[in-house]
Every structure is written in structure tokens, then in C-alpha cells.
Chains A and B, each alone.
Chain A
């Protein structure tokens, strides 16, 4: 057996998790109903029982570095069946939220994302960047109308107010910032989950073979696309529909954005683009799906009294709905000829898009990367 483990509970960790939706974790009495109930928990070292005890003992290092907390898809079977109301599903969700902070490249930013009081500041950042950079460029490169509060013309569109070049100049580094943030976080994350798996005997592979890891990634992608893990859930199975809608609409919108980026920067075709363009269709369909999927998620959260919904969850749902609604409304008001209103909504849309890029590694949306990584890792140690 392993060496003795010196237990030094971190009471602050327990209290912090309570704020993130894990307030019932101490109710656990270790019956392991959760681990039995969980449809996606592996047979070897199943979760979430061990996470529940480690968390209620405040063993932060033990639990945050575990890939298992990310394998959970929060379907809630465990929470529904828990005889003590300890809500293991929500505890794992809280742990993930905590882990996002833990692995964040800029920890204060992660803390701010979790704190509703910091929301105005977080929103003010993109506003400031746009205004400051817009004014500077207006002065420095007057040949281009970077930022124009009162453009004239019969058929205006948002680029006449906030130039697409300005948008791209800001968004591309923001995206790069997100990617770098993730990269830094992932480096520690993968090291920790591997060390944890080794220590708990889940794997005996000393090092990770990159080729094998990529093979596992390729095998995992269909699982993610098909939402296979979601569909194994007993309770709240219909979550997979809304999640699929939101995920696929993000993918769709990402494709659309790239198409228009190429159109503008490579082909030099200026927008707005024809409503008959297939790319536009994809954009509109994705926009609608994003709103519907987001709304379904909100409804689901409101209906489900078993689970806790914290600011961590609401902030992401708010962002999703804001993105969808502001995007679609910008287009609709533009088509309706109300260019001023369209531009104002567009400004909000840009704030949302910027937040999406900049704050993803620090928000609940970070699961996109961490969960995928954890699933790939699990696939790797099990099958490769």
C-alpha cells in the first residue's frame, strides 16, 4: 500500500466550494449510492464517492487534480438518488468551478469571473478597449473610419459604426490570449491528473505518449459530437438536446465567422452579405439554435429543484443568451432599417463576443477544454 498520507484539511476550501454550489457536500455519509448510480463512472476507481469524502475532508490537492471531476457530465442521477441530499453532482460542478480558478493562468481574473460583484468591471474592459483603440486609430489612421457614432447613408450596417477591421484587430489577440491561457492551464492540468492517476493506481504508464494521446483524442471526438456520455444519463436526459444545440451553434457560428473573415481579409468582399448566401443561412440557423438551446437550458435549471444553480452557471447561460439575442437582433434591426438601434445592439454583441473569447478559460465554458482533455486522458489510460 501507498505511503501514509498526512491529512491537513483545508477548511477554507470547503467553505469556498459552498459558495460555488457545493454547500451540501458535508451531508455525505459515504454510502456510495452516487458511484453506483452514475452511468458514466468507470468501473475502476469510480466517482463521485471518493471525491465526496476527499472534499468533505477539505483535501484540495487530492481532488482538484483528478480527471474524474471532469468526466462527470452533471446529469444529476447521483443527486436525485442521494439519500442524504448531499448533491454529489453539484459538488463535482463546484469542484470544476474551483479547478478552473486553480488552473487559471491569471488567478485574479478567474476569481473575478466567479464574483457577481466584479461583473461591471469585466464588462467595462471590452468597452474601454474598443473606445480607446478606436479613438487612437481614428487619430492615427484617419483614412479609415474606425469608430463612427454618426455615419450617414441610406443603407448603413454595423461596420459603418464600428469598423470590422477594428473588431478583428481586437478580437484576434483576444482569442490568442484565450488560447495561451488555456495552454498554460492545461500544462499543469495534464501533469496533475497524470500524477493523480499514478498515485491512485488508475494507470501504470509513467509518461504520456503524445501519439497515443492524439489517437485517443481522435477516438474521443465522436463521443463528444454524439453526446454519447450525456445520453447515458438517467435523470435529465433531455439536457443533451439543449447542450447539443448550443455546442453545434457555437461550432456553426465559428465557421461563419471564419468564412466572413476570409471574405473580408483575403477576398476583400465587403459585407453585409446576401441573405441568400449559404454561409448566412448557417449563421442564422446557428443563431436561432443558440437562443433556443440557451432558453431550454435556463428552463431546465429553473425546473430542477434537486440541483443547485449558482452564479457560475447563470453567468454562462446569460452570456450564451446575450450572444444569440444580440446577434440576431442586430441583423433584424439592420434589415428593418433601424440602423442606430442595430448598432447599439451590435455594441453589446461585441462585448459579449469579446467576453466569450477572453473569459472562456476562466469561466464555466472552460469545461470545453478541461473536460475534453480529461475524457481524452481517460480514453488514453483505458484503451491506448
Chain B
């Protein structure tokens, strides 16, 4: 593409009042680029100016006006490269003239005086111009064997609902169920929690009707007694091999070598050939992940609805509950089967169980936690099962001891109706012990709502065991990915399948595989059915993005994808290992094999690559590096007292919006900082920081999402990886005799815009204290 440039400087929204726009136009003028100004480029007349230029051949535009986060569609020109220079929120709104006065005519005469805000605006225009020079228009990546079919793993309530939803919108679906029949756990229930208004009474299980609907649906193929042996390839063209449970196939998924097998006796890491040998040995009889099963079936997207199993109650921490010791202490799942088979009786002697105690939290001691993997659903199930006792016996009594009684949404109505039963007794309390009392049991509890130590005689005690996601025991999805067949355990999800529970439900850490139901968290049928719709829509979104060669999520519609300059690859595997989404596989030599439709376009690989051979059409080492180099670094040659120059690399997802909102609220911060938005802090390559410092900038900071337990990173690990890299850069700085403190990373959430001035100003102040970068001026 031959680039024909045009620079457009808007003078509206206070830009023209605060800045010398004529002087700004000198910046493109010096480079020989045409520059136009208008008091309102987003208005009809202003847009006309731009459109006319585009009609005359201009295809590379630098629009210096408001933030790129506003007027998004107004300044979108297909087929053109557009850079938005943020003069409004980023310069004039956040640096009011009342605080940063312009130079008077008198001051202008002295060349040692400078106008910080004007310098800032000029730099941003230069940076914008530098970027458009380096980027190209993206072209879509198209998969070769696109399939529009959806695979649903799990034939329980969730899986069947997802299949029906997807089918209703016209997609072909296959359900695989490892058991011999559809229905899953719902087949074992006496009654079901309400799923519709008025949410008051138990209903008969709806699973039968659901199975009938699935069987009647011509878009749905059901494979019972079947498992997934492996899912190979990438979204849009997953090659899936099925098998009977227990079978051993050559297309069973291979597992990565455990860490202890990657080293020799002395603890040194094995070389590539040795590793490949070990790997082949470890996975003997299995085809490598890169070999596609010629008999495999093609699917475009996968919905994972593998469900749950009842948690086991074992270990010393539960010893006081006599589970396993007394046959009359059982779990909720065991109670359900008992109730399904007839009246509620004591397992020990078959006598009627007329006094049943439901224990929601293990109690004993200061802990008020529930059983593991419990949730609102276990609260609701205890209420449901309490009702069974009352249904079976006119004089039956059911006691529920809880620490948390969770009945979200309209389930509150169900709670109320249960409460009204004169034979059901609910209280918060610490359960101290369950012990033998004659031929029955006695439950001791403290700190109850009745305000004292209580004892209740019980025929039967029911423990609220949680719902363990199927993925905690088994990969289930068996992905032929170099990072392994399971979802990566990042130590936060306890086997649940999620990438970001709050922000991106249904998204797993693998693009094209969407989770619903109890693999995401313990939930009721009602919630699972709703979840199924969500996951089905995500699967459809995936298909309808992959077919156009654009990214699914969270950079929905992004046509770029990582491009590798393989000639210079050193097979260090950092990209393969660091990719949060397992998008890269590698061959036996370690050369990465990209799977573009698995990619979420965060650029973590680009940030990781020490050879800097990874880039996107519009976002590369060079494009950002050139922006860094375009920043003016005044030295003593320019002014007697030159200002500091600090680079801020800012996550565009949360931190950059926070900066904009700070500007919108006229919060001001140092004018000596230059911000460059990045896709994710994970994409920050240390070369940019080294470049900035070696050109004399005094400090660099990264501003991005929180990481750790409550991480907010859109790409799971980006900000955390950046932090690790920043720690490592300290050594490099030391070798240059630069203080480590010149590079820092700060965390911010999108709503913490009010913290921006403090973060920025404190960092600049700390740099000022250290003094200027000694490389300045060289």
C-alpha cells in the first residue's frame, strides 16, 4: 500500500484555546506532510474535509483531536490507516492552562523558557505520525477447513440446553455423553428446584422433557457412551477424535512431560533432542499433537458442559461429623438417591427418619466456611430436601444449620415458602459435633440464632457436600495443545473452568471452547440452563468471527494476528509457554506453530520474544518503538533547565480509559509524561524500555491491571508477566549504571481514575529526586 498521509488537527473542545495550533501544524509541515485544522472535525463540515481528502487518495490519517475511545465510528475509514492523537483528554483537559500557563510574549523571547503543554501536544503528534508510518492494513486469516458445527461435551441438563439453543438458531450440534443415557444427575432427583414464577414450590424434574426435545431435534446428533479422545487444531477447524470410555487409541491426547522429567540426574535441563525422545517415550503409542486424525470429525466450536460430581467428605477436619462412622450420616447427594427411591429412612435400620438435621457448614472452631465446592445451590438443595422430610411424614421435622443461607434471585420466594412450613427449622450456627445417642444421633451446635448451645436429636444427618467440577479430576476436553490437554491451572480456580469469572463468563482459557454449568461453579438447574444459553451464544460468536477472519474476544473484530519472522527464531519456546491461551504449539525442534484462531491478540508473545520477531500488522515492536523514539527528550543543550521526560506504557483496556476519565474530570497530572497505549502489559517488550532509557528519558512506568487473586487482566496473565519482566530488567539497568527505580509498574482499575494524578506525579517526583538520566543528550 502506498501511503498518502494527512494530518488533521482539531481546534474544538478547548484544544485551539489552550494550544498554539499553528505551531502544531509546523510538526507535520517539517516532515512534508499536509496538515489541516478545523474547529470541529467530528461535525458535518469537518468530516467533509477528511472525506474529500480520502476521495483524493489520502489513506493514512493522523487525526489529532479527542481520545480514540470516543467518536470511534465517526473517524473509522475502512481501507485507511487511522491514528487518533489524543489532544483533548490526554493534553488540554488534563493540563488546564490555569495550572500550566502558556508562555507570555515576553517569556517567549527567552529561549530557555518552554511551554510543557505545547511540547506535550507536539510530541503526541510526532508519535502519531511515527506510528502510521510503521503499520500496515491487516488482512484476515482464513482457516482452510471451516466447520460450522458445534460440539457439546456433556449430555446433562446444561449440555442438552446448550444444544437445543444452538440448534434453534440453526447450527448443527453433536452431544457427546460418556454415560449410556442422556440426563446426567437430573435423572436421580425426586424433585427439582423451581425454575419459573412464582418460584415457590418444588417441581417434578424437567429432565425427561429435555431429553425428548433433544431426541426430536434433527439438528442434534447424540453420541452416548462416548468420550472425547482429543480435540486438535483450532477454532473453526477443530479435529475431534471420539472414543468409548476405557478405550486406548493412538489419537488419545499426549501429555506434556512433567517438570521432573525435563531434567537430567544433575538437575540440568535436557537438550531439545533428548526432550523429544523423552516425550515420545512418555507418550508411547500416541500420535503427537500436530498429527491430525484423518478420521476425526470437524467442529468449529466446543461447549463444555461436563458437569460435576458430589464432593467427598473425608479427612480429619470432618471427623467430628461422624461421616463414615455412622451410616446415618450421609451427604446431600446420597440423601437425594434415598429420597428418590422411596420414603426417607435411616440407612442403619431402615426405620423412618422423622428428625433430619441438614448441616451446611462443617463448623467446629472459628471457621465459618461451607463445605468445599458448595454455593447457593447447596443452600437451596438443603431446603428442597428438608421439604422431602415433611412430605414423607406428617410429624417429620427438618433442621437446617447453616453459616450462609444463599437463595439468590427469586429463589427467595422458595426460601419463604419453606420457612412457612411449621416443621422446618432454620438457624445459623457452628456445628460442634454429631454423635451417637442411643440408636439415633445428636447434633451439638453453638452460637445459633437461639443464642446458646443447642442439641438436636436426629434420626439422620445430611451434610451439604459441594459440587466438584468434572474438570478438577480430568482434563475432559483433551486438547492437543502443547501446553497440555487440560485448561491451565493458574492456581486460582480450583479446577473450575474460567478465564475471568466476573468480566468474561463462559470464556475459558482456550478460545473456541466455552464452558457452561457446574464446570464454571456450583449452580442450580435454573442457572445452568441460563448458562447454557450464554455458552451457546459464545460458540456462535466464535463461529461467526472465525469465518470472517477476525478475533472473537475480547478484541472482538480485530483482524490482525501475530506474524512470525521464523528465520530469526531461536526456538526458545518463550512464546509457546507464556501464551495465556495456548495458541502456539511447537514442533520437536521447538519452532512455534501459530494457530491464529486460538489467539486473542493480546501480544503476550510479542512482549516475550527476545528476538523481537513477532508482530501484528498494526502493532509491532517497530510501531511502538518508533513512537518511543519520536518523543522529544530535551537536554541542557535545549534549555537551561530541561524538563524530565517519562514514558508511560498504558494498558488500553482499563488504564487508558481511566486516564481519559481523569481528563474528563479535569484531574491534572505531570505534563512531562508521554503515554503510549498497549494491547496488554503482557505485550510490552523490554526493548521499548531500553530504547527509552538509552535515548535519555528519565523514567518508564507501566500502568495496567491488577493481578493476583482478584486479577482484572483481560488476558489472564499479562500484567503479571509484565511484572516479572520488569523485575528482570533491573539487572540490565544496573549494568548501565541506572537506578532500578527508574522503571516501575503500577496497578489500576478502570474506576480508579481519581488515583491517576497521585500515581503519575509521585513517580515523576521520585525521578526528579534521582536526577536526570545520565545518557541524556548523547
Contacts and interface: CB of A to CB of B under 8 A. Distances in A.
A9 B456 CA distance: 9
Contacts of B421: 26
Residue with the greatest number of chain A CB neighbours at <10 A, chosen from B395, B421, B425, B444? B425
Interface stretch (A51-59, A96-104, A140-148, A347-355): A51-59
Interface stretch (B282-290, B445-453, B580-588): B445-453
Contact of B450 (A1, A18, A53): A53
Contacts of A84: 416
B584 to A, nearest CB: 54
A3 interface: yes
Contacts of B453: 1-5
A301 to B, nearest CB: 25
B450 A27 contact: no
Given A7-B456, A9-B425, A29-B419, A59 B450 contact: yes
A90 to B, nearest CB: 15
A14 interface: yes
Interface in A56-94: 56-59, 84
Given A2-B452, A50-B451, A57-B425, A26 B419 contact: yes
Nearest to A85: B416
Interface in A1-29: 1-9, 11, 14-15, 18, 26-27, 29
Contacts of A2: 452-453
A198 B444 CA distance: 23
B413 to A, nearest CB: 12
Contacts of A26: 419-422
A2 B397 CA distance: 25
Contacts of A3: 453
A52 B116 CA distance: 70
Nearest to B447: A1
A6 B449 contact: no
Given A53-B450, A57-B425, A57-B450, A7 B419 contact: no
B135 interface: no
A163 to B, nearest CB: 53
B450 A14 contact: no
B554 interface: no
Interface string B418-462: 011111010110000000000000001000011111111100000
A1 B455 CA distance: 14
Given A53-B450, A54-B450, A4 B427 contact: no
Contacts of A7: 399, 425, 450, 454-456
Contacts of B425: 7, 9, 56-58
Contacts of A30: 428, 449
B420 A53 contact: no
B contact face: mostly helix, strand, loop, or mixed = mixed
B394 to A, nearest CB: 9
Nearest to B444: A4
Contacts of B427: 53, 57
A58 B399 CA distance: 12
A200 to B, nearest CB: 8
Contacts of B423: 9, 11
Nearest to B432: A4
A8 B457 contact: yes
Given A9-B397, A11-B395, A1 B452 contact: yes
B455 A4 contact: yes
Contacts of A58: 422, 425
Contacts of A5: 450, 452-455
A1 B427 CA distance: 19
A15 B452 CA distance: 25
Contacts of B416: 27, 84
Contacts of B452: 1-2, 4-5
Nearest to A17: B422
Residue with the greatest number of chain B CB neighbours at <10 A, chosen from A4, A7, A11? A7
Interface in B671-710: none
Contacts of B451: 50
Interface string B58-78: 000000000000000000000
Contacts of A27: 416, 419-420
B449 A15 contact: no
B451 to A, nearest CB: 7
Nearest to A32: B449
B400 to A, nearest CB: 12
A56 B399 CA distance: 12
A59 B449 CA distance: 13
B130 to A, nearest CB: 62
Interface string A217-233: 00000000000000000
Contacts of B422: 11, 14-15, 18, 26, 58
Given A30-B449, A54-B450, A56-B425, A6 B457 contact: yes
A272 B524 CA distance: 80
A84 B426 CA distance: 16
A82 to B, nearest CB: 13
Contacts of B455: 4-7
Interface in B718-763: none
A168 B440 CA distance: 62
B717 to A, nearest CB: 43
A30 to B, nearest CB: 5
Interface of B: 395, 397, 399, 416, 419-423, 425, 427-428, 444, 449-457
Given A4-B452, A4-B453, A26-B422, 10 more contacts: A5-B455, A7-B399, A7-B425, A7-B450, A11-B423, A26-B419, A26-B420, A26-B421, A30-B428, A53-B427
> Closest 10 interchain pairs by CB?
A4-B453, A14-B422, A6-B455, A4-B455, A26-B420, A53-B449, A30-B449, A7-B456, A57-B425, A11-B422
27 contacts: A2-B452, A3-B453, A4-B444, A4-B455, A5-B450, A5-B452, A5-B453, A6-B456, A6-B457, A7-B425, A7-B450, A7-B454, A8-B457, A9-B397, A11-B423, A14-B422, A18-B422, A26-B420, A26-B422, A27-B416, A27-B419, A29-B419, A30-B449, A50-B451, A53-B449, A57-B427, A59-B450
